[in-house]
Amino acid sequence: MNVLILLAAILLVLMVLVGGWQGAKAFISLFLNFGVIFFTVFFMLDASANPIVITFIACIVIGCISLFYINDVNSKTVIAFVSTMITISLLLFFIVIVSEKLMIHGFGEEGEEAIAGLSLYIGVDFMKIGVSVIIMSTIGAIMDVAISIASSMHEVFKHTPTLSKKELFKSGVSIGRDILGTDTNTLFFAFFGGYLALLIWFKDLHYTIGDIMNSKIFSSEMILILCAGLGIALVIPIASWMNAYFLVRVKTVKKEQSEKL
């Protein structure tokens, strides 16, 4: 525990030194988001509750904390928040369909020993829980791309206010292309970093490539990576269009008001 406190203190000091008060708020937001996830799990234990609806509400709260609390309420954070929620909503339908078709919910053979003495009749829909896990795992990457595009496009338009809506949209998509590759690879290596021991275990058990690909653990994680990549790809044009429309619209309104005066 002392080591954990020490690491947390070092992280806090570094975030404050680098980010100032905003870095301190980012550190506090980690605990706030942890609290949201804790209460999300708590509410999911209710058999009458819908885990997907609860997760979507949790995503809204997490988005408010991560965007509005850290970066304040402004045009960049509002557009990033709206584009994130639109992307999550579109992604929900796709994830539900994929989860039902692939039947990845439930426990895999690799976890049989760990759950052998536990009751599996807990009254929870594991398919919906699986969808909730994927959504909760993707919102961070989607928000990251959304706020990055919003900040970049606002800065571009600030220095080049003569850009048209189409040109500004192309700039946002161009920025998004650079983010797309790095974020997708980040998710990919995060999976292999977290499941390196499992892959070594697969090798020791002489799993074939087919066995690994059909393993529930491996399949569910690959679906998580692919869905997160899909969310990142979707949020790029959505955030780019919303920022381009807003910035050009605000410029047009200001111009009309100045002409009236």
Beta carbons within 8 Å of 173's beta carbon, 6+ residues apart: 236, 237, 240
Token readout for 226 is: 């692919």
How many CB atoms lie under 10 A from the CB of residue 250?
Answer: 12
- Render pLDDT for 83-125 as a digit per residue (tens, 0 to 9): 999 999 888 888 877 777 766 655 555 555 555 555 566 666 6
Query: Which amino acid, one-letter code, is at 28?
Result: I
pLDDT at position 19 over 60: yes
Domain boundaries defined on the chain: 90-105+125-260
Query: Which amino acid, one-letter code, is at 256?
Result: E
pLDDT at position 222 over 80: no
pLDDT at position 17 over 80: yes
- Please, which pLDDT band fits residue 178 given cuts at 50, 70 and 90? confident
- Render pLDDT for 49-84 as a digit per residue (tens, 0 to 9): 788 888 889 999 998 998 888 888 888 999 999 999
Token pair 């800065």 in the structure block, residue: 155
How far apart (Å, rounded) are the C-alpha atoms in residues 153 and 140? Answer: 20
- Please, which pLDDT band fits residue 181 given cuts at 50, 70 and 90? confident
Residue 129 is predicted with a pLDDT of 77
Residue 5 is predicted with a pLDDT of 84
229 within 8 A of 87, measured Cβ to Cβ? no
Beta carbons within 8 Å of 150's beta carbon, 6+ residues apart: 75, 76, 77, 79, 80, 83, 239, 243
Mean pLDDT of 172-195: 78
Measure Cα distances from 223 to 99, 121, 161, 228 in Å.
Answer: 9, 26, 41, 8
Question: What is the value of pTM for the model shown?
Answer: 0.82
